[in-house]
Amino acid sequence: MSPHAADLILAANAGSSSLKMSLYQRNHDAVSDTSSGAPPGHRSVTLLLTSSITNLSAPPASFSFSFTHSAPHKGADAKKQHVDEVHDHASACERFLQYMEREAHIDKSRVKYVCHRVVHGGDYFEPVVVDQERYHHIEKLSDLAPLHNGGALAVMKACLDALPKAASVAYFDTSFHRTIPAHIASYAIDQEVAMTRGLKKYGFHGLSYAYILGSVCHHLQKDVSRTNLIVMHLGSGASACAIRAGRSVNTSMGLTPVSGLPGATRSGRIDPSLVFHYTNRAGHMSHKREVEAQVHVTLAEDILNRQAGWKALTGTADFAEVVEGMRKWEETQTDTNKQPSQEKGLQDMSGWKTDEKFKMAFELFVDRIMGEIGTYYVLLGGCVDALVFSGGIGEKSADLREAVVEKVRCLGFEVDQTKNNGVDDQEGSVVEIWKSTEDGKRILVCRTDEQMEMAKECAVVETFWK
Ligand SMILES: Nc1ncnc2c1ncn2[C@@H]1O[C@H](COP(=O)(O)OP(=O)(O)O)[C@@H](O)[C@H]1O
Ligand SMILES: CC(=O)OP(=O)(O)O
Ligand SMILES: [Mg+2]
């Protein structure tokens, strides 16, 4: 018998290219942060361990773990190591649990709840304790999130095996977007078919947007219900979201996470006819990877989810390498504002210097992000408290942020190069990189934390802890 009560919450975030896991202790006096004046989560849980296993989408991958006993944003005491035995979400989860017991000496029987980020929840809006029926509901939705739900289910299984006494709770990315008005969430198709088959815009990255909203409101010292934001979550999967009065009113992903902005291996929004011209086998089932054993996708979906994005444009799924290649290309140019020309591209892409492809991929991403910001700025009637950058790329790439802000200067935003380049030196979940002297609107970087978003919610459900 453990000397401690079961007081720990493990939170698992199965992204398309990563598995992030964090372990928290529930605070005895856990309270919701809504009116506490503290940053999100700080009143309800204390972080014990965190890990990030990256590059899962780019095999052969080099996996790295970082464990920290303090805030996840400070790399100082993070241990990085390459682990060959990790090859998918399930083995990444097993490695974390091994670390927790053998190296961090934390008794696994102390884990009472495992919170799982589930990207597609369909018509489930509230978090659910996973039983067989709910497990199958999530499984059925896997075809609508082919890079995600399967990974989350694999992690759920691994946790059920290793921690049989802990209950699994599913938190859905789609929940945050339930407030999107019908005329925005609907596609212009037969509505009977749409209703029967659930064909509408669901939107994703909702746990991240919920965390960002809480953090930014705390930073601005402004009530959620009076806050309007344009948020970009730019990672292996990238999306943008318009938030009016604390509620999602539009987002760029759709029925599945393939729509909207392009990503590491995803096409983003395309002309829906394109894929039938790309291959005449578009409707055939894809039987490519083992992970798809329970995920049934067509070749078309496989092409648009796995064979597109930066990976297809440049050969790497790592946006840091895209930025590096783009910089090298710029160094060889006398006019740095020069864009790779379409004429040249249409003539012969294979003749392009490699670095020119990186520049094109970078500019393509910036162009699509600019489109979302423009749309949302108008949707919000120009009443925007802040433009927020987040996700692996949004948090780490000063070049990307600068390029995007330059494109939306006409909306009154500006780049402060010193602040933009100094983000990594600043602590905290929100870093301000510009503030308008005219109307006070800001540009912020928010280090999102989907695990914290789930754990803090879990900690304050009274019935869970009786
Ligand atoms: N310094 C950097 N500059 C640009 N992109 C970066 C940098 N560091 C990480 N990234 C990119 O962030 C992405 C991962 O984002 P993240 O949000 O952590 O992943 P996921 O989408 O799997 O949750 C990867 O494409 C990675 O290349
Ligand atoms: C929804 C989505 O694309 O998530 P991620 O960026 O974590 O892959
Ligand atoms: Mg993610």
Residue bearing the CA closest to ligand 1, atom 2: 320
Quote the CA–CA distance of 459 and 11 in Å, as a whole number.
11
- What amino acid is encoded at 192 in this protein? E
- β-pair type (111-118, 167-172): parallel
Please tell me if the CB atom of residue 149 comes closer than 6 angstroms to any atom of ligand 1.
no
User: How far is it, in rounded angstroms, from Cα 23 to Cα 21?
Assistant: 7
* Ligand 2 neighbours (beta carbon < 6 A): 15-16, 119, 173, 204-205, 235-237, 257
What pLDDT is recorded for position 66? 56
Answer whether 325 contacts ligand 1 (Cβ < 6 A). no
Number of C-beta neighbours around residue 51 at 10 A: 23
CATH of 8-202, one of 3.30.420.40, 3.90.1170.50, 3.30.70.360, 3.40.47.10: 3.30.420.40
Which ligand is nearest to the Cα of residue 173, counting in written order? 2
Q: Please report the pLDDT score of residue 33 as a whole number.
A: 67
Alpha carbon distance 151, 442 (integer Å): 36
Is residue 173 flagged as an active site residue? Answer: yes
CA 299, CA 302: separation in Å to the nearest integer?
Answer: 5
The residue to which tokens 């029967």 are assigned: 196
Domain positions in the chain: 8-202, 271-307
Quote the CA–CA distance of 55 and 59 in Å, as a whole number.
Answer: 7
Integer angstrom CA distances of residue 115 from 22, 36, 83, 127, 180: 10, 23, 24, 9, 25
Atom 9 in ligand 1: residue holding the nearest Cα:
392
Q: What is the pLDDT of residue 75?
A: 40
CA–CA separation, 438 vs 142, rounded Å?
47
Q: Buried (b) or exposed (e) across 227-264, using 16+ Cβ within 10 A?
A: bbbbbbbbbbbbbbbbbbebbbbbbbbbbbbbbbbbbb
Cβ neighbors of 343 (< 8 A, separation 6 or more) are none
Annotated ligand binding at 450? The verdict is: yes
Tell me if 319 CB under 6 Å of ligand 1.
yes
Closest CA to 114 of 18, 11, 29, 214: 11
Question: Residue 237 carries which DSSP code?
Answer: S
pLDDT for 466: 86
d(CA 156, CA 132): 12
Segments in the chain below pLDDT 50: 1-2, 35-36, 60-62, 70-77, 290-293, 346
Residue 307's pLDDT is 94
- Please give the distance, rounded to the nearest whole angstrom, from the Cα atom of residue 417 to the centre of ligand 1: 21
- Which one of 33, 173, 302, 318 is the catalytic residue? 173
Helix then strand then coil, % of the chain, to nearest 5: 40, 20, 40
Q: What is the pLDDT of residue 36?
A: 46
Ligand 1: nearest atom to the Cα of 310: 25
3-state secondary structure of 298: strand
Q: Atom 8, ligand 2: which residue's CA is nearest? A: 16
Q: Nearest-CA neighbor of 212 among 429, 459, 441?
A: 429
The annotation status of 26 as a binding-site residue, yes or no, is no
Give the ligand 2 atom nearest the CA of 16: 8
**Closest among 27, 21, 151 to 451, alpha carbons compared:** 21
322: nearest Cα among 349, 359, 353:
359
Mutual angle of helices 319-331 and 354-379, in 10-degree steps? 110
> Taking a C-beta distance cutoff of 8 angstroms, is the pair 16, 263 a contact?
yes
